[in-house]
Amino acid sequence: MSLSQRDITPLAGQLEHTLSTGLLPPDVTGWGSQLLQRLRQPVRVAVTGAPGTGKSALIDMLLGRVVIGRAAAGLPVEICYGPEEQVVFDTPAGTRRQQAGCLADTAVPPDALRVRQHLPDLRLRAHSFCEIPLAGPPGRQQDTLQQAAAMADIILWCSETFPEAEQALWSAMPDSTKDHSFLVLTMADRQIMRGILPGLIQSLEPVAAEEFLGVYPVAAIQGLTAQTAGAPAEGLWRSSGGRQLAEDVQRQIGLGRASDADQAELLIRQFGGPLPADAPPPPAVSTARPAAAPPAPAASLAAALDQLHSGAEDMLAQAEAAGGPQAGPVLAHCMDLIRSLSASLEALPGSAAVSAARDAAQDGEELLMLCQLEQDEDAAIDAVTLLFQLKKELAEVPPG
């Protein structure tokens, strides 16, 4: 679920206060500082690929209007939030030239190095776009791509056919980048007219399964037309491939924000006291209470949710009483909690809501098994984050 800036801001403030106490271990302080930085900046979506692969058109489509058009001319372009439409050009001399309006309607100075476009679009408070062209010899392209991986949270690789040379470039990216990246086959309408799109997708699927979140054929011009047409054109928006890509990118943005928020809540609870006033306070627990036996099966979905919530809070309290979380016990406790939850859900009468909850619990158990293979602090943090995310997902399951 996507989190608004209004939801993130008080959490970031409380996390900053927690870090300022100076009571955190050095390794936790470093992690918390990085987390605070992520909370206070938009999720960065980089759109990259070779020249002429439709990067600008794709960004315009995702924005729902022509902002870049054909004006980028191979320059890096950042699209971010601003109170007014304004274009800023950076020059080799270190100066900045500002001009009102959109880049698509602006003459680009011949000495411009990069462009920043400000838009009063509230969606850009949560995420920004950056067009990063890949040009020059392979070594230079590799350096550019590494820089993109270092600054971006999500990458959209634009290509007509994703040939072997591009595959070789991408293969050097870290797995953490690949896990949040999309392969976008641009100009899909041309491939359809040539009759090669189905075969192309089939040939790339094995590669994409290892290297990306998925393959997305997109006809960006048609997708943009669907959004700017006077009458609703939902059919064209869907058939262009734009809707599926836009929804999945937004889902990835939301997952990233939710994960950061969950980790911030975990750190605040352990080291900084109560959460911000607009967040529901955790129930009071006694740190002296001995570990209880696994609870009996819950009688309802609400009871199963309470069971997961109280079990997670108990675990945090016990970890704090023990002087800090230990990876092994935390991972084992997380697995006990989710298996107990699964048993409770299995005992409930069947319904669409219970079925959805069972599926979510099963997925969570599989992910926890992967965490247990690591047996380190990062795995323990991921496991607890997973429990809180699962709690939120169950809370959002509609009744019935």
User: pLDDT tens digit string along 225-277?
Assistant: 998 876 668 888 999 999 999 999 999 988 888 878 888 887 787 776 555 55
Is this model's pTM higher than 0.85 or not? no
For residue 47, the Cα-to-chain-centroid distance in whole angstroms is 15
Phi and psi at 50, nearest 5°, equal: -70, 160
pLDDT of 398 above 60: no
The most confident of the ranges 3-7, 17-21, 237-241 is 237-241
Any residues with CB less than 8 A from the CB of 349 and at least 6 apart, and which? Answer: none
Q: What CA–CA distance (Å, rounded) separates 130 from 222?
A: 22
Least confident of 29-43, 166-180, 244-258, 273-287: 273-287
Mean of the per-residue pLDDT values of the chain: 80
Alpha carbons 81 and 148: distance in angstroms, whole number: 20
pLDDT band at 102 (very low <50, low <70, confident <90, very high): very high
Is residue 87 classed as helix, strand or coil in its secondary structure? strand
Q: What are the angstrom distances between the C-alpha of 271 and each of 5, 214, 280, 342, 387?
A: 24, 39, 18, 30, 19
